Structures are given as C-alpha cells and as structure tokens.
Amino acid sequence: MAVSAPVSALQASGTAHELFAAASMTRSQRNSSIPTDWGMFRRDGREGWSLFGPRILGVAGLAYDPFNPDVLLLAAADGVVRSEDRGRSWRLTTGWRIADVRAFAFDAGDPLRVYAATQWGPIRSVDGGRSWESVAEGLPVRYSQTLVADRIIPGRVLLGTESGIFLSEDAASSWRPVNSPPVTILRLVQSASRPALLLAGTEGRGAWRSRDGGRSWQPVDPGSAKANLYAVAIRADDPDVLAIGGWATGVRVSTDGGETWSARGAGLPNPWVQALAFDPDHPGRLSAAVHEEGSYVSDDLGRTWTFAGLYGAYGHDYAFVPAASR
C-alpha cells in the first residue's frame, strides 16, 4: 500500500512509529457523495484501522517532513494536501493544473525543498509543500509515479518514468537518462544504511538493482523477470535483505543483496501484492498489501503470515511516521 515512495516506508532512527496505509476498499465499495472507501488509514491495533485525513479520491501515499514530523503531505488524484498539525487540519496546496500525485521525496540538504512524482510530470516545492511548480526540463515523457531524493547528496533526485529512470543533480531543474531499462518504473527505493544501493520494480521487466547510486542498473531475480512489480523494499538495518512483490508473483525475498531469491508468499490468500514495507521498530517485520485481502504481516521474512486488518482493501502504499511526542 506505498509512502516512497512509490507509499515506501520512511524511518526516523530511535523513535517509535505509527503505521499508515493508503488504500481503497474496492471489494465492498459504497455509493456516497464523500469517498469514505478511499483514503489514508491509520493502524489503531494489530488488526484495527481508522480513516485518517480528508475524504478525497485517489490517495496514493503519505509523507512527513523529516525535520518536522507534524508536517504531513498526502498524494492524491486531486493534488497535494498538506497538514501542519499532524492531521488535525488540511489544505490543498496545488491548483487545477496539478493532479494525480503519486509520491513525495524530501531533499537531504534543504528542509523546505520537496519533490513529487505525478502522472503529468515531476513537481517541486521550495517552501515545504505550500506551493508547487512543474520541473520537467529534459524529460521526453512526463508520466511518473515514483522517485527518490538521495539520502546523502542534496539536490540529487532519481525519477521513475514510463521510459526508464532519469537523474537530476540540480534539484530537479534538469534531467538526464541513466542506464536503466526503457520501461515504466513502478517503484524505487534507496537503502537507508547503504545509500549506493537502490532497487526498482518495473512493468513487465521485473526487479532491477543499482549499486552505484542509480547511475547504472542490472536485472535481478530471474524468477520474476517478466513480472509487474509494484512493491520493493530494503530492510533499513540490513541492506542485504530485499523484498519484492507484484501481480501474480506474491512476495519474493533475498538475504544476500539480490544475488538469490526465494518465494515467500505461500501463506498469503493470493499472489497479487501491491505494497511492501519493513517496520523500523521491528526491523525483521515485513508488511504486505494483498489485493482486496488487506494487510498481512510476517516476522520471519515471509515464511509465515498473519492477517493484520483492512480486509477488502486495494493497497497502494505504507508509511511509518514518527509517533507524536507525549
């Protein structure tokens, strides 16, 4: 269910986190003037979830300002919705020209600079998400749904488009292609502890890995080489532990940095997985969004799974947000 990111799990070391999931309840939708079946959900217990934030269509993910976790951004079909008080109030910060927002990334060197992938091209904010501008210079196509802002190098951004991965080294002012597959990139994630390592899920070309900060990419996992992979995750405290998931592939896990992979979806109700995230408070815990079956959790890298609520959900992203101070 993806926030990265391509909604990717975000981490703040040494703090407890709340788990959020972007999802639509497609298995039991109801006719309503307010989209109560689609939005951001917050976990209240092992299997309990409650709707969180404004009732808007097409919620794809949630991100928080790493310098101030009270500032939250919702990616939605209507644009960017922002809160400065941890969700008590919200404001739409984009106009009619910006829609179908998919993912956010905060710049490592500037707390006010934020990037977003949209299906109409990348956008950028220089005031913490209060206003936005298009930044598509050098892109042959604009469609994008995933991006990564380098954890170490300010102004360095990788964007997944429908013709591969593009790199900016000037805070998204210009873009150039890298050596990546020329296909739609569905999800990008960067390792928290080994920044040179990135993992990508593609449409029809499986999983790809970069060991040089995204400059070049190589395919991994022959077992899912032709799959649509909507979910990729890297364990924060152990970059050799990788997980991928997609349509009809279930969950696949590597414990050697992507050299070999094992199928780990036998305990799930179906093999259609759309989001994965490692829990920063329980590093070995993996959450999976299973199509119209809800959220499942594993504490043994997918060998066994436990139902964790949201039955009937079409999951889009997960986000771990530092818990509010008491």
User: What are φ and ψ of residue 248, in 5° steps?
Assistant: 70, 10
Give just the sign of the alpha carbon dihedral 312, 318, 321, 323.
positive
What is the C-alpha to C-alpha distance for residues 20 and 27, in angstroms, rounded to an integer? Answer: 20
Residue 38: predicted pLDDT: 74
Instruction: End-to-end CA distance of the chain: give it in Å, rounded.
Output: 28
Spell out where 121-241 has E strands: 123-125, 133-134, 144-149, 157-161, 164-168, 176-177, 185-190, 198-202, 207-210, 218-220, 229-234
> Which residues in the chain come in under a pLDDT of 50?
1-14
Instruction: List the chain domain ranges.
Output: 99-313
Residue 13: predicted pLDDT: 41
Residue 26: predicted pLDDT: 76
Residue 137: predicted pLDDT: 87
What's the token pair of residue 199?
């993992």
Given a contact cutoff of 8 angstroms between Cβ atoms, the answer to whether 273 and 265 are in contact is yes
Closest CA to 124 of 176, 77, 164, 159: 159
CATH topology of domain 99-313: Methylamine Dehydrogenase; Chain H (2.130.10)
Residue 44: predicted pLDDT: 86
Q: What is the pTM of this model?
A: 0.91
What is the C-alpha to C-alpha distance for residues 296 and 298, in angstroms, rounded to an integer? Answer: 7
Q: Tell me the per-residue pLDDT of 235-278, one tens digit each, with 9 for 90 and over.
A: 999 999 999 999 999 999 999 999 999 999 999 999 999 999 99
Residue 325: predicted pLDDT: 67
Residue 24: predicted pLDDT: 83
Residue 56: predicted pLDDT: 84
Q: Tell me the per-residue pLDDT of 135-150, one tens digit each, with 9 for 90 and over.
A: 998 899 999 999 999 9
Residue 30: predicted pLDDT: 61
What is the C-alpha to C-alpha distance for residues 195 and 224, in angstroms, rounded to an integer? Answer: 24
